[in-house]
C-alpha cells in the first residue's frame, strides 16, 4: 500500500499586493492554481478551481481529468454571474494517487504554466508542459529555454481554466517508487529559482514542509516578483511496486521516461479533449512494465487471439505429424520375417508403425549386405516402392541360391570278370574232329 506525506506553502511574494495563488492538499490529492484577472478576480478564479477539489474522490486517471474539466466549468459559471469577474482565469496542476489491480500510480494533470516535477534518485525532471507562448516558441526552436525565462511575454498563457467550455487537459501517470518526491509549484518559484537550486534543496531537506519553506525563502530572496506556491508530496512506501518494477527496469534516467511515457523524446502528455481520451495503449505499456513476476493479469482480447493462433498452429502440427507418420512405409523385421510396415521405424510421437504385409522371407536368407538396412528399417515413399524393394531382395536371394547341375552321374556296377574283356582271351571250346 502506497503511503504519502506532504508539505505546502503559499506566499504573496515581495512585489504583489495580493496572493492569487491557491493550493489544495488532501490525503491522496494535491493541486496548485495560479489565478489571473483584475479586481481580485484572479483570487476568485484560483479559489473556485481549488474548491472543486475539496471532498473529491479520485479512483481512476480519468477521474482527475474530469475533475479539472469540472473546475473549468465552475470558474466559467462563477464569472457568468459577476461582471467584475469577466475574463478571469487560472492555471491548475494536480497530482493524485490512484490504485488499480496492477500498481499504485501518481496521475498528473495540467492546464496552464504551473508545473509538476518529479524528483527521483537525486534528479529533477519536469513532467508537465507549460501552455504558454514562450513554451510554444521554445518548442518551435525560435527561443532557447534560457531566453524564455527572461522573455517579457512569458506570462502569456495559451490555455487556462475559465476561458472555454471545452478544455483540453494534459495528463500523465507515473508508477509510485519509494523515495520519489513530486513538486507542484506556480511560476513564482521556477522564475526565481532554477532547477539545479530546486534539486539541491530537495536533496538536502528531508521533510517536505521544511523543503517547501526553503524553496519559498529562496524565491523571495531572488526577488519574489510574483506569488509563490510550493507543494511537495513524498512517496514514503510504494507497497513493493518499486522492487517489482526494478526487476524489469534497470535504474537509469531513461527509466523515468519509461515510467512516465513510452516515447523516447521524454515525457509527453495524454491530451484530453471533450472525449477525455486517456491513451489506453500507453497505460497498457506502463502496466506491463510494472508487473512483478508471478502477478496475475486480466485476460484481454490479445490473450484470446494468442490462444486461438496457438490452437490453430497445434492443430496444423498434429495434422502434419499424423499425415507424415501414416503415409510412409518401411521394410523391417517382424518375428524374424522381412515385413512391410506402415509408418516410421520406431514410430512418430504417439503413432506406432503397423504391419502392412508380410513377405515370407526369413531375415537369415537375406544377403548379409542388405540385412543391416532392413534391421534399421528401410524407408520408402509408397507401398509400391516397399514392395519393389522386397522383390529386389527376393531376386538377390534367388540369384545367390546354388542351382542344380549335371555333375552327378549314375554308375553301374561292373563284373570283375569283364574288367578287361579286350585283354582276356575269349573262352573257346575244343576243336571238332
Ligand atoms: Ca503567477
More confident residue, 67 or 271: 67
- What pTM did the predictor assign? 0.61
Residue 11 has pLDDT above 80, yes or no: yes
Work out the average pLDDT over 114-142. Answer: 96
Q: How far is the CA of 16 from the centre of ligand 1 (A)?
A: 10
Q: How far is the CA of 188 from the centre of ligand 1 (A)?
A: 5
Q: How far is the CA of 119 from the centre of ligand 1 (A)?
A: 22
Residue 377 has pLDDT above 80, yes or no: yes
Residue 92 has pLDDT above 90, yes or no: yes
The rounded radius of gyration (Å) of the Cα atoms in the chain is 48
The cell numbers describing 125, all together, are: 525532471
pLDDT tens figures, 353-370: 889 999 999 998 988 888
Confidence of residue 261 (pLDDT cuts 50, 70, 90): very low
Work out the average pLDDT over 65-80. Answer: 96
pLDDT at 247: 52
Q: How far is the CA of 222 from the centre of ligand 1 (A)?
A: 15
Work out the average pLDDT over 219-227. Answer: 97
Q: How far is the CA of 42 from the centre of ligand 1 (A)?
A: 10
Q: Is the dihedral of CA 141, 137, 258, 283 positive or negative?
A: negative
pLDDT at 401: 76
Among candidate residues 8, 7, 80, 95, the one with its CA nearest the CA of residue 44: 80
The cell numbers describing 391, all together, are: 522383390
Lowest mean pLDDT among 47-61, 126-140, 414-428: 414-428
Q: Which residue has the cell 530546486?
A: 198
The residues, any chain, with a CB within 8 Å of residue 297's CB and separated by 6 or more, are 102, 291, 303
The residues, any chain, with a CB within 8 Å of residue 122's CB and separated by 6 or more, are 199, 203
pLDDT at 284: 28
Q: Rounded to an integer, what distance in angstroms lies between the CA atom of residue 42 and that of residue 33?
A: 10
pLDDT tens figures, 284-294: 223 222 222 32
Q: How far is the CA of 179 from the centre of ligand 1 (A)?
A: 29
Q: Rounded to an integer, what distance in angstroms lies between the CA atom of residue 94 and that of residue 127?
A: 11
The cell numbers describing 292, all together, are: 512483478
Q: Is the dihedral of CA 250, 256, 262, 263 positive or negative?
A: negative
pLDDT at 2: 87
More confident residue, 185 or 429: 185
Q: Rounded to an integer, what distance in angstroms lies between the CA atom of residue 270 and that of residue 65?
A: 10
Q: Which residue has the cell 462563477?
A: 78
Amino acid at each position: 500500500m502506497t503511503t504519502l506525506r506532504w508539505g505546502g506553502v503559499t506566499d504573496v511574494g515581495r512585489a504583489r499586493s495580493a496572493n492569487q495563488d491557491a493550493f489544495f492538499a488532501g490525503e491522496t490529492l494535491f493541486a496548485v492554481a495560479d489565478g489571473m484577472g483584475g479586481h481580485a478576480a484572479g483570487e476568485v478564479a484560483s479559489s473556485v478551481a481549488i474548491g472543486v477539489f475539496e471532498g473529491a474522490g479520485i479512483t481512476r486517471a480519468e477521474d482527475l481529468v474530469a475533475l479539472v474539466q469540472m473546475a473549468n466549468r465552475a470558474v466559467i459559471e462563477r464569472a457568468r454571474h459577476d461582471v467584475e469577474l469577466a475574463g478571469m482565469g487560472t492555471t491548475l496542476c494536480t497530482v493524485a494517487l490512484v490504485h488499480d489491480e496492477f500498481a499504485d500510480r501518481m496521475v498528473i494533470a495540467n492546464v496552464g504554466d504551473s508545473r509538476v516535477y518529479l524528483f527521483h534518485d537525486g534528479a529533477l525532471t519536469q513532467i508537465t508542459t507549460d501552455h504558454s507562448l514562450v513554451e510554444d516558441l521554445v518548442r518551435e526552436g525560435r527561443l532557447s529555454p534560457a531566453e524564455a525565462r527572461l522573455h517579457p511575454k512569458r506570462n502569456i498563457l495559451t490555455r487556462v481554466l475559465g476561458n472555454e467550455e471545452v478544455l483540453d487537459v494534459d495528463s500523465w501517470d507515473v508508477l509510485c517508487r519509494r523515495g520519489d518526491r513530486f513538486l507542484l509549484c506556480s511560476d513564482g518559484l521556477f522564475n526565481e529559482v532554477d532547477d539545479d537550486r530546486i534539486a539541491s534543496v530537495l536533496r538536502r531537506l528531508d521533510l517536505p514542509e521544511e523543503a517547501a519553506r526553503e524553496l519559498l525563502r529562496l524565491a523571495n530572496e531572488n526577488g519574489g516578483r510574483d506569488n509563490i506556491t510550493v507543494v511537495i508530496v513524498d512517496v514514503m512506501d510504494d507497497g513493493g511496486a518499486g522492487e517489482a518494477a526494478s526487476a524489469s527496469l534497470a535504474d537509469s534516467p531513461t527509466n523515468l521516461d519509461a515510467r512516465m511515457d513510452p516515447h523516447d523524446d521524454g515525457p509527453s502528455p495524454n491530451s484530453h479533449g471533450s472525449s477525455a481520451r486517456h491513451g489506453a495503449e500507453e497505460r497498457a505499456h506502463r502496466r506491463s512494465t510494472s508487473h512483478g513476476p508471478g502477478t496475475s493479469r486480466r485476460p484481454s482480447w490479445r490473450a484470446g487471439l494468442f490462444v486461438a493462433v496457438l490452437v490453430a498452429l497445434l492443430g496444423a502440427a498434429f495434422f502434419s505429424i499424423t499425415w507424415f507418420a501414416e503415409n510412409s512405409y518401411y521394410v523391417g523385421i517382424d518375428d524374424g520375417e522381412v515385413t512391410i510396415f506402415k509408418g516410421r521405424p520406431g514410430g512418430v510421437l504417439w503413432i506406432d508403425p503397423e504391419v502392412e504385409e508380410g513377405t515370407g522371407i526369413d531375415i537369415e536368407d537375406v544377403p548379409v549386405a542388405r540385412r543391416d538396412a532392413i534391421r534399421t528399417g528401410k524407408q520408402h515413399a509408397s507401398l509400391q516402392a516397399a514392395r519393389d524393394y522386397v522383390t529386389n531382395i527376393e531376386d538377390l536371394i534367388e540369384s545367390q541360391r546354388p542351382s542344380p547341375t549335371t555333375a552327378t552321374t549314375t554308375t553301374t556296377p561292373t563284373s570283375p570278370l569283364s574288367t578287361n574283356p579286350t585283354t582276356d582271351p575269349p573262352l573257346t571250346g575244343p576243336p571238332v574232329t
